[in-house]
Amino acid sequence: MERLNYDEAFIDEFGNVHGVVEGHEDGAVMLNSHVDTVGYGDRDQWDHDPYAATIEDGQLYGLGASDMKCAMASMVYGGAALANLDLEPEHDVYVTGELMEEVSEGHAMKYVVEELDVDWEAVVIGEASEMDVKRGHRGRCELRIDLQGASCHASAPERGINPLYHAAEIIDRIEELNEETNDHDFLGAGTIAATNVEVDTPSNNAVPAGATIYVDRRLTIGEDEATAHAELEDAIAAAREEYGNDVDASVETLTFDRPTWRGYELESKKYYPMWLLEEDHPLVQDTYEVAETVLDSAVEIRKWTFSTSGNYTMGVAEIPTIGFGPSREEWAHAANERVDVEDVVRACDVYAGLGLEL
């Protein structure tokens, strides 16, 4: 970005990278992409080397091609177009490469919003949107239920308290709770699922001393962290109906505190609120008009299926947030991850237009 005539380019203390094109009024607009990726999974499922960035039939294949190096590239060069125009944007335009989104989306944005001295007017997230506009998504919460038992030799299980039996009752109730979540005509229904069980046991020939159930809760309108906790307390109560006061259980929201590559430490809950911008909101309509004008094609206003860092920028910080990006949702986190090269190029123009318009 220094070579592309940005007014400023820097790496913050957390480790995020920013390029700035200065505007003539107070406030700033962020064009946001994350620069980390998931792993490539099973190498045998890839037709191309995930690290080779192979281009075939107009598509670029490789790890992060869809999620989301493509948007980062488009934003960098869209910002460069702004930097080299005679026109000056109204607000400062930040092109931001975010860390650690794949392990805790919004974690890095907590630092950016709380620690950088910037008055954010709007955020544009470049996650895959099929070149449409996306105005929200469900939230999520990662939780654990810790169960305490009493270990003993498995030859005499009556001497102990087996937390696995309590866990089974709780999991049965969680399955039932999945049919009782809220629904929303745009974002869809919330979901709850038990995803893993860990056991603290001295031996396969012993009653366990403890067990932990991990739970994924997807949150729609009217649901939040407290909703998820109440549901899991309900599941624990179902186990107590069967096993009485032998059930010793507690519910906790997981946290994330891994140091960044710069050694910066920040703790945040793994609770990611849902968010939704109304369709008639100026940011939605301005983004729609810029995209449709620049692309000269029909553009839809939709939602994301997955979660993004909008859960922090809009869901927590209440900064108006919108989504537009090249590539497709179904290509993210998949073997043969790819993006249409033409869409990456066309997205540059859209991001430049958004920098001027917003």
Active site residues: 36, 101
Distances (CA, A) of 138 to 177, 195, 218: 18, 18, 6
Amino acid at 55: I
Distances (CA, A) of 302 to 100, 161, 289: 26, 50, 14
Kind of pairing between the strands at 136-137 and 275-276: antiparallel
Helix axes 282-295, 341-357, angle to 10 degrees: 130
**Is 357 strand, coil or helix?**
helix
Amino acid at 67: D
Alpha helix segments (H runs only) across the chain:
70-83, 107-115, 163-177, 225-243, 282-295, 310-313, 341-357
Amino acid at 63: L
Length of the chain: 358
Is-cis flag, bond preceding 68, omega within 30?
A: yes
Q: What angle do CA 186, 275, 306 make, to 5 degrees?
A: 70
Distances (CA, A) of 122 to 12, 69, 178, 357: 20, 21, 35, 11
Q: What angle do CA 95, 96, 101 make, to 5 degrees?
A: 150
Question: Quick check: 118 and 32 in contact, CB under 8 A?
Answer: no
The residues that bridge with 19 in the sheet, in sequence order, are 9, 95
